[in-house]
Structure 1
Amino acid sequence: MNIKRLVNSLVRKHKTRDPFEIIENLNAIVVFHPLQGVRGFYQYFQRNNIIYIDETLSEHEQRLVCAHELGHMLLHKKSNAIFMDSRTQLNTTKYEIEADRFAMDLIMSDEEIEEHLDLTTAQFSRLFGYSKKLIELRMRDFN
Structure 2
Amino acid sequence: MEIKAKVRKLVRKYKTRNPFEMINGMNAILVLCPLKGVRGFYQYFQRNNIIYIDEALSDTDKAFVLAHEIGHMLLHKKSNAIFMDTRTQFKTTRYELEADKFAMELLISDEFLEENSYYTVEQISRMTGYPQKLIELRLNN
CA-CA distance at 1:14 after TM superposition: 0.8
Match of 2:63 in 1: 63
User: 2:73 is paired with a residue of what secondary structure?
Assistant: helix
In structure 2, list runs of 5 or more residues that go unmatched: none
| Offset at residue 18 of structure 1 (A) | 1.0
TM-score by length of 2: 0.97
Q: Structure 2: which amino acid aligns with 1:22?
A: M
CA distance in 1 between counterparts of 2:116 and 2:41 reads: 32
Identity of aligned residues (%): 65
Specify the alignment match of 2:89 in structure 1: 89
What residue in structure 2 maps to residue 105 of structure 1?
Answer: 105
Q: Which amino acid aligns with 2:127?
A: L
1:27: Cα distance to partner?
A: 2.5
Which residue of structure 2 lines up, in the alignment, with residue 30 of structure 1? 30
C-alpha separation between the residues in 2 aligned to 1:95 and 1:36? Answer: 22
Once the two structures are overlaid, the 10-residue window that deviates more, 73-82 or 19-28, is 19-28
CA distance in 2, matches of 1:56, 1:7: 27
Question: 1:20 deviation in Å?
Answer: 1.5
Structure 1: how far apart are the matches of 2:27 and 2:97? 25
**Stretch of structure 1 that moved more, 125-134 or 3-12:** 125-134
Gaps of 5+ in 1: none
Alpha-carbon separation, structure 2, partners of 1:28 and 1:118:
38
Structure 2 letter corresponding to 1:19:
P
Deviation of 1:63 (Å): 0.6
Amino acid at match of 1:76: H
Counterparts of 1:1-143 in structure 2, within 5 Å, are 1-141=1-141
Deviating above 6 A after TM superposition, structure 1's stretches of 4 or more consecutive aligned residues are none
Q: Distance in 1 between matches of 2:59 and 2:132?
A: 19
- 1 CA distance for matches of 2:18 and 2:72? 16
Q: Say how many residue pairs are matched.
A: 141
